[in-house]
Amino acid sequence: METMTDSTAVAEITAHFQALSSFVPLRPIRDAAGYEAAVASLNRLLDAGAASQQHPLANLVDTLGALIGEYDDLHYPADPVTPVAMLRFLMERHGLTQAGLPEIGSQGVVSEILNGKRELNVRQIKALAGRFQVPPGVFV
């Protein structure tokens, strides 16, 4: 059985990798130009249908997405979201009013939470996480 250290195999892998790298940047993203090139390549792959897990290039999409995600996390960190901001977002997304959250309590209790006069308790957090199908940590 041929091993990976065989010079012929390494030469063949190198040629394939260089050819692939001319279309898809499979390396750490170090600057804005590299980021733009990676995003453009990812968009081309997605447009070609590679978002489907059954597509032969799905793992390539995942890898390129991870490289882009690392750059994003380093250069564009997300601002923390307060529990109240998350609750407001979910209410808006689901078209809910204060009266539409019996998990929290009365409309008055919901109002106090939304106005920062009261914090969510553990029971309310668990109920909201279940209702909106999100991790409880988004309300902490």
54-65 pLDDT, tens per residue?
999 999 999 999
Share of the chain above pLDDT 90, in %: 81
The pLDDT of residue 6: 84
Q: Using one digit for the tens of pLDDT, what is the confidence trace for 105-137?
A: 999 999 999 999 999 999 999 999 999 999 999
The pLDDT of residue 58: 92
The contacts of residue 105 (CB under 8 Å, 6+ apart) are 124
Global pTM reads 0.57
Model confidence at 91: pLDDT above 90: yes
- Cβ(110)–Cβ(98) under 8 Å? yes
The pLDDT of residue 5: 66
Model confidence at 22: pLDDT above 90: no
Query: What is the spatial distance between Cα 26 and Cα 17, in angstroms, rounded to a whole number?
Result: 9
The pLDDT of residue 7: 86
- Cα 74 from chain centre: 14
The contacts of residue 117 (CB under 8 Å, 6+ apart) are none
Model confidence at 4: pLDDT above 80: no
The pLDDT of residue 41: 95
Query: What is the spatial distance between Cα 34 and Cα 71, in angstroms, rounded to a whole number?
Result: 10
